[in-house]
Structures are given as C-alpha cells and as structure tokens.
A and B are shown apart, each in its own frame.
Chain A
C-alpha cells in the first residue's frame, strides 16, 4: 500500500495509501464519523462492518459503513461529526 491517493473529507483534501478504507481516511483527517443521537462524536468501534458507528456519506450515498468501503481517487466523504 505504498501508492498514495487523494480523497476529500468534508471538503478537505486528505492523502491515504491506496487500498485504505474510508474509515481510515476519516481518522487521518481527524474527523469523527458521526454524531450520536445525544450529540457525542463517534469513531469506529468494531472495524468489521457490524457496529455502524463509522457510517458516513460516500459520494452522495448516505449511511455507508466506512470501514467496509475502499477509498477511490477523488472520493467525496462527508461526516456529520
């Protein structure tokens, strides 16, 4: 995973290793994935697509489990955190 690709997290350009998951891009960007119903910022918990804590909007599709989606060049990632 040495090749780097650029994606956008909440409008900010972030560089990640090719093959990285969207969750990783958000963590590198320092963005929380979502805001919980009582207002807490949340990040990934299970890392394997079970817990839904890392869900985010990816290229206009809401509620993607970001740990299970690989980044592609120019991907538009939006969190509500």
Chain B
C-alpha cells in the first residue's frame, strides 16, 4: 500500500461530462490540472463504455482532454478534507493526499430508489444500473425486462437494452401522458435534443410506453419472477427476468456538504460563475440541478474557465446555460413524484437495505436522526445514499450533516500515515 502526495492548481472531482469539460477548459492555461474519479474509466455514468463509434460527442471530448496534460486518477475516491485545500482519497493501491488551489466538484448524480414489497429481490435494480451492468459485460439477449419508475433515463435504457437483444416487455412511467407530451414539446424546442428524441421514438416504436403506471410489488423466490403494477387503478402482473426501476435522479452532494458548501432545494448552490459558498470551490453538472449532459458540459466549461481566471470568456457561455437550465426545470417539474408512491412501502418493507430496517420501524420515529439512533438506518456502508432520498420523499426527513470518511475506507488507509500493516477492516 502506498501513501502518496499530489498537488494541482485545479483539481476536479468527477470525470463525467462536467468534469471533462472543466478539465479541458482549465488545462489551456498550462496550470497543473487533475481529475479524480471513482470509476475505472472516465466518462461518468452517461458516457460509460462509449466508443468513438457509439458516441461521437463523448469521443470528441475525451480526445480534447487527452490533447492536454491532465493527470487522471481513475478508480480513486475522495473521502475526507482534513484541512482546507487538502483532500484525502483512496484507490486500489493506497491513499493520496491531494492539495489543490481551486477545486471543481463534478460528482454527478445517482438514481433515486423507492422501496416497495419485493424491491430487495435479486435482479430488481435501477434502470441505469441494468444499463451499466450490460455495459460491463452482462448478457441480456432474450431476457424479459420490465422498466418502471420515472424520468427520461427509462426511455434511453429501454432503447439501449433492446439493441443489446433484451426483450423489453414495457416501460411503466408514473407521470401522465399529458405531462409527458408537454415535456416532449419542450424537448423538441431544444436544439440537439430533438434528434435524440426522434431517434428514441423510432427505437421504441415496438415497446409499449404505459403512463400513469407504477410498480407496487416484485415477486419471486430470491430472484424476481414478476412485477405487479398499478395501472389505471387496477393491478396487473407481468413476468420478467429483470425489473429495471429508478425514480429519476438525485445529486451526489455528500462531498460538497462535507466541504461546507451551502445547498438550495437539495442542490449545491452556485453563483453565475459556478462558485459555491466556499472560497475556491466550484460545482458543475448534476449536483447543481439535474439537467443532463449538455448543461453539464456548459457548466463544466464555465467552472474550468473561472478557475483559471478567465471570467470574461466564461460569460460568453451564460446564455447557452440559461436555455439549458429551463430544460432542467422542466425535468424537475415533469418527473415530480406522485403522492401515491408514498404508500408503496408497507410496514414490513425493508427501506434501509444495508441494515435491513423496515418501514414500520422507521415510522416509529420523528426524524432521520432519531430513526438512525434507534434503528441504524442509514448507518451501513452506503451511508444513507439509497434510503436517505427515499425517506426524504416518504417521510419528509432531511438527512443531517455529513461526516468523514464519506465512503467506507479500509482502516489501513484511514490511518495510512503510520504505515503499519493492518488487517483489511471495514470502517464506516
């Protein structure tokens, strides 16, 4: 195990579109620029596994990045800021102490999961999750996949899985067809998105898109065999090998909160220059509002330019960002969760999967903190990243402060300064 020091003028956490764009913009200055990313390769979730053939936009940005001298630390995650201007990160072979002048947080988003009976069965997973697994080699040819939840990701995943040979039985979207049609008009008005929307429509022409419908239970013996859906007030059961189910996205704000950045409506608050409430800390992409790849690219470029003192150049991107932000607002509005979803979990439904805490145990408490203290909910290795957003919706609880390490870290890495041989123990 190694314990190494690194130093960057501009450090970016997160190597998705926002992080890549930030790095490309900042690197023009000749300053030392680095990217730290948890995933094995750059691209974030949206560009995971993309090649020049499959996604020319991703390939073009990655080529721009590689043209500059940007140091990429893949498979590395930040878990603490011991003092201002210094982050600690863990990789497969040890820890890094990383000093930065300016920091750009581009930590992306994750799927929101809602508990319902049977959601802990194997092969019930996020929609983006199934896509990520297929990109990581999972064969789905001939498999029956039911897709449910909410958000445009469901459609993109359906098209992807179909092209990989899966039999997508249907897409169940909780919003109404009217709301979806309004959103489609908004998309059509946006340059760049129209072509994508038309492509999706063509790809999905054989797959039923059922609106006003949502999953109420997954059934099976250890592994999912069918899903029960509420559709027009009636229940119907559909056989499936996979239930890909996600309820839009939630931002990854844990690192921002650890650094003391202020949040607003659950997103990291930034000014026109993508500056957070903390000096020298910027934020770009999904943590400032779920807006998709185009908005992330623009915000990343602005943050990268401002980090190297080119505010004037950054301002030329403001009008493009404004247009994209109206799309982000439409996303939030369209895919807001309907109140019926609050009654999906029954008293015996597990909400916290790390500690197997059931809904009925949680509702005996008044706050996230009280429930945590009494039931251990949110205290397992995911640190509430799954059950936190769920209870926020179900019970209106707001998760409280974030404490280091913000990810489970091997004990030997947590205390790596001592260089002692330690048992590989799990610390939360």
Contacts and interface: CB of A to CB of B under 8 A. Distances in A.
Co-complex (A, B):
yes
Interface of A: 1, 16-17, 19-21, 23-24, 27-28, 32, 36-38, 40-53, 55, 61-63, 67-71
A61 B424 contact: yes
A5 B113 CA distance: 34
A27 B133 contact: yes
B136 A20 contact: yes
Interface of B: 38-40, 45, 75, 110-111, 113, 120, 122-126, 128-133, 136-139, 222-223, 350, 353-356, 380-382, 385-386, 408, 424, 426
B248 to A, nearest CB: 14
B126 A45 contact: yes
Contact of A67 (B75, B132, B380): B132
A48 B129 contact: yes
B120 A16 contact: no
Contacts of B382: 50-52
B137 A41 contact: no
A24 B137 contact: yes
B40 A62 contact: no
B353 A27 contact: no
A48 to B, nearest CB: 6
B129 A45 contact: yes
B128 A48 contact: yes
A28 to B, nearest CB: 8
B353 A42 contact: yes
Contacts of A48: 39, 45, 110, 128-129, 132
Nearest to B44: A48
Contact of B40 (A32, A55, A63, A68): A68
Contacts, number: 110
A21 B135 CA distance: 9
Contacts of A36: 120, 350, 353, 356
Contact of A50 (B120, B124, B136, B386): B386
Contacts of A47: 125-126, 128-133, 136
B356 A40 contact: yes
A69 B133 CA distance: 12
A43 B122 contact: yes
A40 to B, nearest CB: 6
Contacts of A68: 38-40, 75
A42 B120 CA distance: 7
Nearest to A33: B122
Nearest to B133: A47
B77 to A, nearest CB: 8
In the A-B complex, the 7 residue pairs with the closest CB atoms: A20-B137, A47-B129, A43-B122, A47-B132, A21-B136, A52-B381, A38-B356
Contacts of B426: 62-63
A42 B129 contact: no
B379 to A, nearest CB: 12
A14 to B, nearest CB: 12
A49 B386 CA distance: 12
Given A42-B122, A45-B126, A48-B132, A1 B137 contact: yes
A41 B122 contact: yes
Contacts of A46: 110-111, 113, 125-126, 128-129, 386
Contacts of A27: 133, 138
Contact of B353 (A17, A53, A62, A71): A53
Contacts of B386: 45-46, 50-51
Contacts of A43: 122-123, 125, 223
Nearest to A39: B356
A16 B137 contact: yes
Given A44-B125, A45-B129, A51-B385, 5 more contacts: A24-B136, A28-B139, A45-B113, A61-B424, A63-B426
A26 to B, nearest CB: 10
Contacts of B126: 45-47
A1 B136 CA distance: 9
Contacts of B111: 46
Contact of B380 (A20, A21, A52): A52
B137 A17 contact: yes
